[in-house]
């Protein structure tokens, strides 16, 4: 069964392997399969589920709500997010204005079929809205009981520090950041992680398997596997293409002996690797088939010896991206609506 960890300096525990439905529910997989994946997650002890209003333009929240119908709400931890455009994508249908946040939480709750979410996250930093306005809106949502805790996603260390200061003034619990993190994408290690540790936030990391590249199924010089994310024109291919260089794929194949030494698949090794970071509370996994959930869940509780962590670094060499400026570089400069 999947273990739990505390989220930030709070009393809330979440699964260290959390089920996320980005790029899958309402998009890449049929609803029946998506519901089967959620049930497979519940079967292995995953009770923490992460989604966002933007995923499949709100359909992912609807599918997750349907999949969790009938479950004891108090036994679940449900996470969602706000920022990206939804609906008709009008001028106020995105961002972190008070209007968009207040309207978005009500829409998310309706789609998820719940009266509250456990964690409500700012999906990116909004450069066009005063941070004070954003944080006050989040505080009002917490005080109304519609969210229990708040978090952010892909904020820089400086933005996290500013948001935390306001949250503290408003007496609301800002306890997490949700960044990309994997063996190949380590940009949070230099600044975001130390700042978060200082302030009492944890990381809930996405793409721990680097869009599937760290599973080892993509080989240098070989055709892309049929039905893989790299061949998905609904969005998957866009996100994975940066990793599909032969030099990177060859280095990833060098991780196979390390995985075998630990009795793990390469995907399990990738998930276990991010969980070695003490500031990581959870690794998000998605799935297009129920059996993938059960396989990835086996990474829970794995401890990778220091000598093998060092071998991973040696094997990958200078290929991982480590520049902390990449967090800001990848963020929207203006509202995307």
**284 has a pLDDT exceeding 70:** yes
pTM flag (> 0.85): yes
Quick one: pLDDT at residue 222? 63
Quick one: pLDDT at residue 227? 54
- Helix ranges (DSSP H) in the chain: 31-43, 59-67, 98-112, 131-144, 157-170, 192-199, 236-240, 246-253, 256-262, 266-274, 290-297, 306-316, 325-329
**Average pLDDT value for residue range 279-284:** 98
Quick one: pLDDT at residue 28? 57
pLDDT band at 240 (very low <50, low <70, confident <90, very high): confident
pLDDT digits (tens, 9 = 90+) for 172-212: 999 999 999 999 999 999 999 999 999 999 999 999 999 99
- Dihedral angle of Cα 55, 58, 61, 62, to the nearest 10 degrees: -140
CB atoms within 10 A of CB 275: 23
**228 has a pLDDT exceeding 90:** no
**154 has a pLDDT exceeding 90:** yes
**225 has a pLDDT exceeding 90:** no
Residue given tokens 């032969």 in the structure block = 246
Could you give all domains of the chain from N- to C-terminal order, each with its CATH number? 4-329 (3.20.20.100)
**Average pLDDT value for residue range 22-42:** 79
Task: Name the range with the highest mean pLDDT among 21-25, 186-190, 286-290.
Answer: 186-190
Hey, which residues are catalytic here?
55
**How far is residue 253 from each of residues 214, 246, 262, 318, measured CA to CA in Å?**
8, 10, 15, 15
């Amino acid at each position: 069964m999947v273990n739990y960890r505390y989220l930030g300096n709070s009393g809330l525990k979440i699964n260290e392997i959390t089920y996320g439905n980005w790029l899958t529910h309402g998009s890449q997989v049929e609803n029946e399969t998506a519901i089967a994946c959620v049930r497979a997650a519940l079967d292995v002890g995953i009770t923490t589920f992460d989604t966002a209003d933007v995923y499949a333009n709100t359909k992912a929240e609807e599918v997750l709500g349907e999949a969790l119908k009938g479950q004891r709400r108090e036994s679940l931890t449900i996470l969602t997010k706000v920022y990206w455009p939804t609906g008709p994508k009008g001028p106020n249908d995105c961002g972190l204005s008070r209007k968009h946040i207040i309207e978005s939480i009500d829409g998310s709750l309706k789609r998820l079929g719940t009266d509250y979410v456990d964690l409500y996250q700012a999906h990116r930093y909004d450069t066009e809205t005063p941070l004070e306005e954003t944080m006050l809106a989040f505080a009002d949502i917490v005080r109304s009981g519609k969210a229990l805790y708040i978090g952010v996603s892909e904020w820089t260390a400086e933005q996290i520090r500013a948001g935390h200061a306001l949250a503290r003034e408003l007496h609301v619990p800002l306890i997490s950041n949700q960044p990309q993190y994997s063996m190949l994408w380590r940009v949070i290690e230099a600044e975001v992680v130390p700042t978060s540790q200082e302030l009492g936030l944890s990381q809930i990391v996405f793409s721990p398997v680097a869009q599937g590249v760290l599973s080892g199924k993509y080989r240098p010089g070989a055709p892309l596997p049929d039905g893989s994310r790299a061949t998905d024109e609904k969005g998957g291919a866009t996100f994975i293409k940066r990793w599909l260089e032969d030099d990177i794929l060859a280095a990833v194949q060098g991780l196979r002996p390390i995985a075998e030494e630990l009795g793990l698949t390469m995907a399990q090794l990738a998930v276990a690797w991010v969980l070695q970071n003490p500031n990581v509370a959870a690794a998000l996994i998605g799935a297009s088939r129920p059996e993938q959930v059960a396989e990835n869940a086996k990474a829970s509780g794995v401890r990778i010896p220091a000598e093998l962590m060092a071998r991973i670094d040696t094997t990958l060499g200078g290929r991982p991206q480590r520049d902390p400026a990449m967090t800001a570089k990848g963020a929207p400069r203006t509202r995307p609506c």
